Structures are given as C-alpha cells and as structure tokens.
Amino acid sequence: MDSKEIIRELEGHGIRPTANRILIAEALSGSKGPMSMVEIEGLIPTIDKSGIFRTLMAFKEKHLVHSVESEDGIRYELCHSHDPHHDDDRHVHFYCERCHRTFCLETIPLPQVALPEGYERLSANYLIRGLCPDCQRI
C-alpha cells in the first residue's frame, strides 16, 4: 500500500493519520507476514517502543490490526477488515518450527466453535505448527 492508501485505511477505521501511525501501518503493510514488536522497532528506530505499542493497541481496538500468538511471542498484522467495530478477517496462521516464521493462511477461515451457554468469544487464535514448504526441501 502507498501512503494515500494507508491514510484512507486509517481514516476508514476512525484513526487519525499521524506521521507515526502512517509509518507503523506502512511497515506492517510491507511485511510478508505478522511482525513482532522487535521487528517493527528495527524498521522504525525513530519511534520508541512505547509509541509503537500504543499505536498497535489503537490499531487493534479499531480492527486495523490483529495480534497472532506465536511460538516466539505476539505478532501483529494488518487486518483486511472493512469494519472498525468488527474483525471480519479471521484466518488460520502457520508457524514453521525450523525457520521460525509465521505465515497467514488467508484462504483458510477459522473453524466455527460452538461455545457453551454463557460464554462470549472476543477473539480466537488458530495456529498450526509444522514445516513450511521452503524448510521441507532442506
């Protein structure tokens, strides 16, 4: 995504497009998979850790990003949700045990789980672990 598209996405999710927010969204947009805080910090050394964290939490609250619990901690990715009040981009993730990368399997939706009465789902994380195609060739 270019800067104009990033600004449209931010505004579409009710987020004011400040310079730092645009930089963080651009970093996430250019990534090949979910990113850790450390990876984002490495790409944007001009923003301190707390600024990145606050921005990610604001993005998450407005469904612009979602977090993925991975073997190596929490990772963040841009959400392709079209609604700032609801995350309609829920999909399976894959963690490679050899190269330690996390992949989005966007074509595989999260399976529906019928919760017992009285329970309300706020989020779900579905992570499959194994070997990615590149690592299987090694």
Alpha-carbon span 117 to 87, nearest angstrom: 22
Within 8 A by CB and 6+ apart from 85, the residues are 63
What global pTM score does this model have? 0.76
Bridge partners for 78 per DSSP: 65
- Which of 90, 80, 78 is closest to 127 using CA atoms? 90
At 105, the pLDDT band (50, 70, 90 cuts) reads confident
Confidence of residue 90 (pLDDT cuts 50, 70, 90): confident
Q: Which domains does the chain have, with CATH numbers?
A: 3-136 (1.10.10.10)
Q: Which residues contact 95 (CB under 8 A, 6 or more apart)?
A: 70, 71, 101, 102, 103, 127, 128, 129, 130
